[in-house]
Amino acid sequence: MNPLKNIGVEIIELNKWDQYLRGMWDYHFATGLSASEKMIIYMDQFLWHLFSYKKIECLKKIEAKTASNNLNKQTCYIFYQNQSRTFILENPMHVKAEHFEQENDIYIVDKEFNWTYVQTHEEQCGPYFYIKQ
């Protein structure tokens, strides 16, 4: 997260928000799937399977990075799939997808859960970008 501090982003660590943010991400982006559909695509393992199993249309790879980079970002949350580390980013307008290329299974989402950018651990999957229409 140090490169983000170098571009003027205020990073606030949140304690014990990981379950809450994962649940909110699921609620806002995967509401169209039943519990059994989520099980079939292993969303209990990785939320981003919503995209890799093509359950909703999203941007991938270069298009995902470009869309994320061009977004007028306000306050964002960051959380990880299998870690309890969670953060709020204040003043993230200069945050780019490239800042997260070395991260695994990281989710960046705006405060209202209108869009999300996901960097996966699998080279052939993602990154993904989704914005609600």
Tens digits of residue pLDDT in 23-76 = 999 999 999 999 999 999 999 999 999 999 999 999 999 999 999 999 999 999
Q: Is the pLDDT of residue 84 over 70?
A: yes
Question: Is residue 81 very low, low, confident or very high in pLDDT (cuts 50, 70, 90)?
Answer: very high
- pLDDT of amino acid 2: 60
In a domain, 88, yes or no: yes
8-25 residue pLDDT tens: 889 999 999 999 999 999
Q: Is the pLDDT of residue 5 over 80?
A: no
Tokens of 121: 């651990």
Which phi and psi (to 5°) does residue 76 adopt?
A: -130, 155
- Cα–Cα distance, 83 to 131 (Å, whole number): 24
- Count helices and strands in the chain by DSSP H and E runs: 5, 7
In a domain, 94, yes or no: yes
In a domain, 55, yes or no: yes
Domain that includes residue 21, residue range:
16-131
Nearest Cα neighbor of 100 from 111, 38, 73 is 73
In a domain, 97, yes or no: yes
Mean pLDDT of 123-131: 94
In a domain, 33, yes or no: yes
94-126 residue pLDDT tens: 999 999 999 999 999 999 999 999 999 998 899
In a domain, 30, yes or no: yes
SS3 assignment, position 24 = helix
- pLDDT of amino acid 58: 97
- Cα–Cα distance, 37 to 40 (Å, whole number): 5
In a domain, 114, yes or no: yes
Q: Is the pLDDT of residue 1 over 60?
A: no
In a domain, 8, yes or no: no
Tell me which residue has tokens 């405060």: 111
Domains of the chain: total: 1
